[in-house]
Amino acid sequence: MENSRDLPLLPALSDVLARQIGLHFPPERWPELLRGLQGMARELHFSTLPDYFAQLLSQPLTRQQIEILARHLTIGETYFFREPQVFEALQCHVLPALIEERRQSTRQLRLWSAGCSTGEEAYSLAILLHRMIPDIAEWNITVLGTDINPQALEKAAAGIYGEWSFRGAPPWLRERYFRHAGKNLYEIIPAVRNMVMFAYLNLADDTYPSPAGNTGAMDIVFCRNVLMYFEPEMAARVVEKHYRALVKNGWLAVSPSEISQTSFARFVPAYLPGAILHQKSSPPPKPEQPAVTISAKVVEAIRPKLPKTIRPTAVATAQKIDVAALLLTARTHANRGELPAAQELCQRAVATDRLNPLGHYLLGAILQELGRSAEAALAHKRTLYLDPEFVLAHFALGNIYRDQHQPHVAAKHFDNALLILEKQREDDLLPESDGLTSGRLMEIIRSGTRKEDKAA
């Protein structure tokens, strides 16, 4: 076996992993790093590790390389209701008040399992909600599971598990929520599987929180046994992004060993029986501001941040500049989970300029997160009326109609999205996607279509 003395490129590769994936391997963990890299080199048929290291360091890591590295360098160890005291804290202290509050208003809840591995945690959250909400069919529930490992996500979407995933689980779990799928295999029931969606996400990226990625306005985020892989600076950035992904007074759950006073300074710790959760603290009230007016200097300052579709031209009017500012501010509110404020700003922008497709699209994305699917669909249709090539609107409509069990209508929009994407380069960044590329969206659509074909 090769060792670190024979591999002078190992420190450089360790630094690349920390920067591009967030995985932290200090010198004392280099033997572990070597074992993972040896497995990856064998998978890709490299004869020696130095050759493979040189190839990895020759250019930025590709998404495929990141996915393979994650598979070999992270531990996908999980099972249903892992650390049950955390779920008990949710059931007894967090969810009852939250459910009662939403019952009187939107009947909507949004939960996220970040670093979900093979899906047991995300399904555990969905099962907990299913047990606590008798009329759950009348609610709009989103449980999102994201991970960097596509193979783990594929298993999660299939929803079939062996005995090892149930270790320590109560007897009622399999009896009520699973059905036999072969020898020592159990498949989760459709009522729960349909509550959960899975998606690829590298937590080291800056593509979240985002309405386009469905990673904003979360009530509860689970990010357990994930931060321990990151170097402290990266872990702090991930915590900050989760803070922005939560709604006001939302909750973050991490593992006890990952708690750092500095990283969670913006949260209020809740010391519950057997568990510590972190609640998003409310920012201090801002003084009331006068109506927004945009000067020429301000326009020039924000011009580089504005999408091309709303950049002022030489003949732009002050009205159009105001719309640009409204939409930019609406995105900021949406990314913070302040959806009512974001919706109001978008509606003002749309009322001012009804021919701007971006305003209708952003309004549709916000309405989707608010659980108002019919209104969201109408907004996205208006987007496409104004700009038939607005690919994210097709993608959004495909997701809406898929969730409404209208597969033929969903397929039409997914196909239209693919036709548009095939005209672009794979590394082209999509407007309003917060860093999503054309190639990645094509893979997401095709992967979802394949899974639906298998289910059918």
Q: Could you give the CA distance from residue 281 to residue 267 in angstroms, rounded to a whole number?
A: 5
Type of residue numbered 451: K
DSSP track, 41-94: HHHTT-S-HHHHHHHHHTSPPPHHHHHHHHHHHS-----TTSSHHHHHHIIIII
DSSP string, 10-44: HHHHHHHHHHHT-B---GGGHHHHHHHHHHHHHHT
Residues whose CB is less than 8 angstroms from the CB of residue 264 and which lie 6 or more positions away in sequence, other chains included: 239, 252, 278
Kindly list the structural domains of the chain, giving each domain's residue range(s) and its CATH number in brackets, ordered by start. Answer: 4-62 (no CATH), 84-280 (3.40.50.150), 296-455 (1.25.40.10)
Element (H, E) at 158: helix 150-158
Contact in structure between 273 and 85 (CB atoms under 8 Å): yes
Residue corresponding to tokens 């990895």: 56
Sign of CA dihedral 11, 13, 19, 21: negative
Question: 23 - beta bridge partners?
Answer: 230
Judge whether 368 and 378 are in contact, CB under 8 Å. Answer: no
DSSP state of 230: B
Distance CA 408, CA 401 (A): 9
* Of 199, 182, 190, 145, residue with least CA distance to 456: 190
pLDDT of residue 246: 93
- β-strand 140-147 against 108-114: which pairing, if any? parallel
Q: Which of 155, 153, 161 is nearest to 67 (CA)?
A: 153
pLDDT in tens, the chain (456 residues): 455 444 677 788 888 888 777 777 878 878 888 888 888 788 777 777 777 788 788 888 787 778 788 777 776 678 999 999 999 999 999 999 999 999 998 899 999 999 999 999 999 999 999 999 999 999 989 999 999 888 889 999 999 999 999 998 888 999 999 999 988 999 999 999 999 999 888 898 888 888 777 888 899 999 998 888 788 888 889 999 999 999 989 999 998 777 666 678 889 999 888 888 999 976 544 444 433 433 444 445 444 444 444 444 543 445 566 888 888 888 877 766 677 888 899 999 999 889 999 999 999 988 887 778 889 999 999 999 899 999 899 998 988 888 788 889 999 999 999 999 999 888 787 877 776 788 878 877 876 654 555 555
Cβ–Cβ < 8 Å for 412, 436 = no
Question: What backbone phi and psi angles, to 5 degrees, belong to 177?
Answer: -115, 5
Q: Output the pLDDT for position 295.
A: 41
CB of 248 closer than 8 Å to CB of 338 = yes
Name the token pair of 161.
């598990």
Residue 453, pLDDT score: 54
Its pTM stands at 0.70
